[in-house]
Chains A and B, each alone.
Chain A
Amino acid sequence: DTGVSQDPRHKITKRGQNVTFRCDPISEHNRLYWYRQTLGQGPEFLTYFQNEAQLEKSRLLSDRFSAERPKGSFSTLEIQRTEQGDSAMYLCASRSGSAGSPYEQYFGPGTRLTVT
């Protein structure tokens, strides 16, 4: 169990550029979540995958955001035409689908995005 990893850890981009983040969940976890955290707030849910299927998207996930999880392994989150309001920490979490600990999520270190 190497934990949830995210890449890059930091990203600085100019307004209008596209960015893509990657998340590698714990290998046996089939459920994967993306959250966004801004200063002074707790993490807010963005989207959820079970295996390769994206089953839920928050209203926070505008049309400029897209997420994928090909083959049910790693996931990517892309933001097109970034805006300054997109500056935040983007967190990935995963959990097992088994009945042992059904709702315990394990978080990665996050990708801090700064849009200038």
Chain B
Amino acid sequence: AQSVSQHNHHVILSEAASLELGCNYSYGGTVNLFWYVQYPGQHLQLLLKYFSGDPLVKGIKGFEAEFIKSKFSFNLRKPSVQWSDTAEYFCAVNGGSQGNLIFGKGTKLSVKP
């Protein structure tokens, strides 16, 4: 069965620190990968996605992620976080025929001003 693992449950950083959130998936076929973000009190929003092509994808608000097929990983990065990045981040994979997403448990990011 497909699964997604997010390594960090809660990450606390100071503003301007660099961020890397880990995500590993298990699926043998062609995958589409996503990072969603949920700001406090708001609904899930798409941060970035990978379908094919360049394994380094750029998303909104300065986030990027790198797909490494050999490691089954899709880690999220940002060189310098801001207080407004405080949110919960979810990695997801879609490999099924009906398009449903398989989510990780999420990583809560707290950025100290």
Contact = CB atoms under 8 A, between A and B. Distances in A.
Interface of A: 4, 31, 33, 35, 40-45, 48, 50, 55-56, 91, 93, 95, 102-110
B99 A42 contact: no
B29 to A, nearest CB: 14
- Which size class do B's interface residues fall under? 20 to 34
Nearest to B101: A105
A107 B105 contact: no
Nearest to A107: B44
Contacts of A41: 105-106
Nearest to A101: B49
A35 to B, nearest CB: 8
Given A104-B46, A108-B43, A110-B43, A42 B98 contact: no
Contacts, number: 60
B98 A55 contact: yes
- For B4, B92, B101, the residue with the greatest tally of chain A CB atoms inside 10 Å of its CB is B101
Contacts of B74: none
B57 to A, nearest CB: 13
B43 A42 contact: no
Interface of B: 4, 32, 34, 36, 42-46, 49, 51, 90, 92, 94, 98-106
B99 A48 contact: yes
Contact of A45 (B32, B45, B46, B102): B102
A45 B100 contact: yes
A103 B44 contact: no
Contacts of B49: 103-104
A81 B38 CA distance: 31
* 7 tightest Cβ-Cβ pairs between the two chains A and B: A42-B103, A107-B44, A45-B100, A109-B43, A103-B32, A56-B98, A103-B94
10 contacts: A33-B101, A40-B105, A44-B103, A45-B100, A48-B98, A91-B43, A103-B34, A104-B46, A107-B45, A108-B43
Nearest to A34: B100
